[in-house]
Chains A and B, each alone.
Chain A
Amino acid sequence: MKELVWLVPVLPLIGFLIISLGKNYFSKSIAGILASVAVLGAFVISLGIFFEMNGLHGKAFTLVLFDWISTGDFKVNIAFLVDPLSSIMLLIITGIGFLIHLYSMGYMHDDEGYAKFFSYLNLFVFFMLLLVLGDNYLLMFAGWEGVGLASYLLIGFWFKNHSYNDAAKKAFIVNRIGDLGFVLGIILIYITFGSINYATVFGEAVNLTSNMPVITAITLLLFVGAMGKSAQIPLYTWLPDAMAGPTPVSALIHAATMVTAGVYMIARSNILYTLAPETLGFVAIIGAATAVFAATIGIFQNDIKKVLAYSTVSQLGYMFLALGVGAFTGGVFHLMTHAFFKALLFLGAGSVIHAMGGEQDIRKMGGLKKYIPITYMTFLIGTIAISGIPPFSGFFSKDEILAHAFQVSPLLWGLGVLGSLMTTFYMFRLFFLTFFGTFRGTEEQHHHLHESPKTMTIPLIVLAVLAALGGFIGVPHVLGGNHWLEHFLAPVFKASEVFAHGHKLSHTTEYVLMAVTVILTIVFILFARNKFVSKNYVPSTDDSKLTFIPKLLTNKYYVDEFYNTIIVKPLNGLASFTYKILELKGINLLVDSVGKLVVFTSSVVRKVQSGNTGFYILAMVVSIVVILIINLFNK
């Protein structure tokens, strides 16, 4: 089966080509089916590869297709690496990808760009698979920028609206900032190791010592790329705006898969990061800071998708916190459980928006529980899962991260718990405001309320099951589990194990930490219930009455405005200065003056040729005298 791995990305690529080139020749429903079948096919093969990988105990396999860029000692292939990490990523991408394709058949049913939408989705899946399958950094980068393109196309899917186009452009440009770091990191890897193939680089890296400046530089540069793609401070601002895209896109690209690419990249490069403890510390701090920072914003957002967007930024922060404290498995584990529950929540939000006829403001919802029961139930499961209530999936992955964080620093643990409690609060705030209380929308919306079609509810149910039970692949020893995922991924992280030092927590400590978090979480749920259900509190739609802190948070700390002032405007000013002053008044004028000088000089010199013989003779005599005098002095 693993020899067929090339088909996994190629199937969606073919889907993309057929739909985009032939969409005028077949009916639009065929486009949806074709795209879904392509991803389903990729999923089936991925499943086969996964079981084979499981049987092989993690023995990696590389399939070389052809030479891509090779010159001198630089050599890069189009080649796919199948190992436990990539095989798990394949399952997540194609599995959730398929469900979201299915969902989109219902959600996008009446959109005039239906076929185009599916072609873009397939294109995205192709690039995402390329990203995780590449056996070298440059191919990862190709997928990396490719998913950025797909993201650009899908955020700006409704291209008639310029605010959506702005969001798409912003996403691409902010990602490009990160990508410059990524490219420079790749080049530095090449200069350092003479290769950018994972096998070669990691093989040589294990022989290095810790704390080499060049490795720190490489890992920091790569991390800049991750900050962009995975929306970490300071490059996270594009992700909330990216919600302009259709909701299935938010679920697939901006929650479950693409934004986790940075996590994948660091997990893939774990040995390099382990060798650079300073970078790891930095990653942990950025991750924890992002987790808390984004969560605070999430509390005050009233757009259902915006809440989930900040939640995604925050949850990605947890993944980086995990990586930063050396819990690579934990990072990947949370990547996976987050993919389940966040895809579920976004699709659930989509179902709500669908029912509400496009409304996204939770202040105008309320009491939807009885109108859309399946959405309600599945959304509840997602909310519990993200809050970390056992035995739902989020509990296990978050607990693993927090336990490792505590090992490294109780402060990081504290931040993690703080962020987690805020998560619980804003998610239940969202949940209660949406599904409980009385309906606050218009009469017309009230009349329109209906449960979504089966193509949409089936993916919700499947994801709900995964979000509920997905955590059982990583039950820790302390809870009597065997942590299957850790064993499965062990070959990928083996090299880093050698360098990992640090004491294991005692079981007692782990129990205490767990109990503290779970109890506090329940307290916060009750608090939210008290506020939004018992007291029926609904945030005012009048923003002008807000006090300082809520106002600051509703406006997202004014970070966009801040970037606008310190980067965008100065840059535009510099561009204008360069052109209007430096170029037009400077260089251009200088060059033209040289020209004018020549014209001027010639007009003066020309007068010498007056045609007056007497003047010529005089000039000759004067010249001869001058030459004679010069000769005299030379002797």
Chain B
Amino acid sequence: MITTALLFFPLVVGLLLFLLKGETVKKVALGASIVEFLLGVVAFVNFNKGNGLPQYELNIPWIKSLGINFHIGMDGISLLLVGLTTFLLPLIILAANRNSYKNPTNLYALMLLMQFGLIGVFTAQDAFLFYIFWEVALIPIYFIALLWGGEQKVKITFKFFIYTLAGSLLMLVGLIYVYFQTPAPHSFSLTSLYELELTNGTQSWLFWLFFFAFAIKMPVFPFHSWLADTYTDAPTPGTMLLSGIMSKMGVYGAIRLLLPIVPQGIMEWGPLAITLAIIGVLYASLMAMYQKDYKRLIAYSSAAHVGLIAAGVFSLTHNGMVGGVIQMVAHGISAFGLFYVVDILVNRTGSRDLDKLGGIRVVAPNYATAFLIILLASIALPLTSGFVGEFLLMAGIYEYNSWLAFFGGLTTILGAVYMLKSYQKAVLGDKTEISDKFHDLVLQEKIILIPVILAIFILGVYPKPFIEIAEPAVKNLFSLMSITIK
């Protein structure tokens, strides 16, 4: 029941928004996202932590002749990502308020539709439904980036759209293939796909069909080239949706489909996948070091973090998997936070160029402190949100291969290098003409940043409830995998 409400509420409000105009749009959108967040809280509170199977299910026949059910529900992993989505959406909507976008109605409606698509992806228990939501989530973000993006928006969004669409079409082919392998009458339900016993040869090539889709979405090296342009050029709410939530879709898809359906394929290609992921971590960190555009720098830093999550998941260790799930939540929050503080910077100074910024802390101590806290969470300082997941990820990767852990771990050094360097350039230093344009945080900004900072410390100091939610689902995933591993 609650899953249904979580899924459809943003859709209904999103569609209604198209009928409204002016300031009410913002208020309705914000109100709806807050109601949605409260629904998320209810789902958290009532969740049965001991159970690794989907809860709050809705399962009704949808396209009977094809064995497609409208089947949704949440296990712990779904719940955490749905929770992340409902937590971030009000903040993203509030953050969008500062900028006067033209046609705000459409923007806010698209954001809610995006939420609908994302929650659909995270709750679908039927592979066809999963695919539908996978594409549904792409459409609003495509329009957000296209209609409110920067100068290069047409070219960049086209590349982004084609790239991710190509990946998902491969996934569709894979899904149709496995569909026909299910006993007649065929079914798209995840449980029946999980029960399949595909031959090693089949799993070997099926792996690639799924992997491409998810690798592009995460993205994993070398399928990342759409990311920086898209993140940088998209309007800030779009960037926040992309990096905060959408980048988790790839990892989630791998956990939900790739691992349990083609476990043998993972055994075969996992080493390659994890190596690519680690290469990507270093590659993105190095690129981040070179950037002068603050938004672009964070985009690459985000890619580095997601790469480490992917590596942890592909390590197929308990710690790597739990760490990956926790880190998805933590990264969502810190990525949102970073893009937000940079948005404030851009908004007041009109520049994202690190060489032109500086002297902010003199005039805005609160801003500087909030920025620093989010930055520290991003570079995984212990007792902040970034540390718990990253440590477990490192442990998991180490259990898989110590050298990969070492190379992946280099990102903790490089991350400190580029984050502290950019912070120093943009925020520290004596007064400049930039300082005159800047003032300290205003109330609305505080309202956005305080929940982010609280979340950073709660996740860092007391991650127990979140780990407890994730753990049974992870265990269930491993048992699903061992069923078919021969």
Contact = CB atoms under 8 A, between A and B. Distances in A.
Contacts of A68: 461-464
Contacts of B259: none
A159 B429 contact: yes
A572 B387 CA distance: 26
B424 A187 contact: no
Interface string A543-565: 00000000000000000000000
Interface stretch (B52-60, B138-146, B187-195, B376-384): B376-384
Given A572-B289, A575-B290, A180 B412 contact: yes
Which 10 residue pairs spanning A and B have beta carbons closest together? A142-B382, A575-B289, A160-B430, A578-B286, A579-B290, A72-B318, A575-B290, A575-B286, A159-B428, A187-B398
B287 A578 contact: yes
Nearest to B399: A191
Nearest to A191: B399
A177 B392 CA distance: 19
Contacts of A572: 289-290
Given A180-B409, A191-B399, A149 B381 contact: yes
Contacts of B291: 579
25 contacts: A69-B391, A71-B322, A71-B467, A72-B318, A146-B383, A149-B376, A152-B420, A159-B361, A159-B428, A160-B359, A165-B429, A172-B420, A173-B413, A179-B412, A180-B406, A184-B394, A184-B409, A190-B395, A191-B398, A572-B289, A578-B290, A583-B287, A592-B159, A595-B159, A595-B162
B212 to A, nearest CB: 13
Given A187-B395, A187-B398, A583 B225 contact: yes
B51 to A, nearest CB: 17
Interface in B399-430: 399, 402, 405-406, 409-410, 412-413, 416-417, 420-421, 424, 428-430
Interface in A582-635: 582-583, 587-588, 591-592, 595
Contacts of A142: 382-383, 387
A71 B319 contact: yes
B31 interface: no
Interface in A260-306: none
Interface string B293-316: 000000000000000000000000
B420 A173 contact: yes
Contact of A70 (B222, B287, B387, B464): B464
Given A162-B424, A188-B398, A587-B222, A180 B410 contact: yes
A180 B410 CA distance: 7
B163 interface: yes
Contact of A173 (B322, B406, B416): B416
A74 interface: yes
Contacts of A156: 428
A180 B405 CA distance: 10
A212 interface: no
B126 interface: no
Interface of A: 20, 66-72, 74, 78, 138, 141-142, 145-146, 149, 152, 156, 159-162, 165-166, 169, 172-173, 176-177, 179-180, 183-184, 187-188, 190-191, 571-572, 574-576, 578-580, 582-583, 587-588, 591-592, 595
A410 B159 CA distance: 70
Nearest to B221: A587
B287 A146 contact: no
B162 A169 contact: no
B70 to A, nearest CB: 33
Contacts of B322: 71-72
A19 to B, nearest CB: 13
Contacts of B413: 173, 176-177, 180
Contact of B290 (A20, A141, A165, A576): A576
Nearest to A66: B462
A579 B412 CA distance: 19
A184 B398 contact: yes
B402 A184 contact: yes
Given A74-B319, A145-B381, A591 B416 contact: no
A436 B382 CA distance: 48
A587 B225 contact: yes
Given A180-B413, A579-B291, A592-B159, 5 more contacts: A71-B467, A138-B391, A173-B420, A575-B287, A588-B225
Chain B binding surface, main DSSP class: helix
Contacts of B162: 595
Chain A binding surface, main DSSP class: helix
A183 B287 contact: no
B481 interface: no
Nearest to A113: B365
Contact of A67 (B318, B464, B470): B464
Nearest to B359: A160
Nearest to A583: B287
A146 B319 contact: no
B428 A69 contact: no
B29 interface: no
B6 interface: no
Contacts of B391: 69, 138, 183
A58 B424 CA distance: 47
A253 to B, nearest CB: 17
B283 interface: yes
B362 interface: yes
Contacts of B224: 587
A468 B376 CA distance: 42
A69 B416 contact: no
A578 B289 CA distance: 10
A165 B423 CA distance: 10
A196 to B, nearest CB: 10
Contacts of A169: 420-421, 424
A141 B417 CA distance: 20
Given A159-B429, A162-B428, A575-B286, A69 B388 contact: yes
B430 A161 contact: yes
Contacts of B424: 162, 165-166, 169
Contacts of A583: 225, 283, 287
B36 interface: no
B152 to A, nearest CB: 13
A265 to B, nearest CB: 15
Interface in B429-486: 429-431, 461-464, 467, 470-471
Given A149-B381, A579-B290, A172 B416 contact: yes
A172 B471 CA distance: 34
A281 B434 CA distance: 54
A571 B417 CA distance: 11
A382 B224 CA distance: 59
A587 B221 CA distance: 10
Contacts of B416: 172-173, 176
A191 B467 CA distance: 20
Contacts of B287: 575, 578-579, 583
Contacts of A67: 464
B362 A160 contact: yes
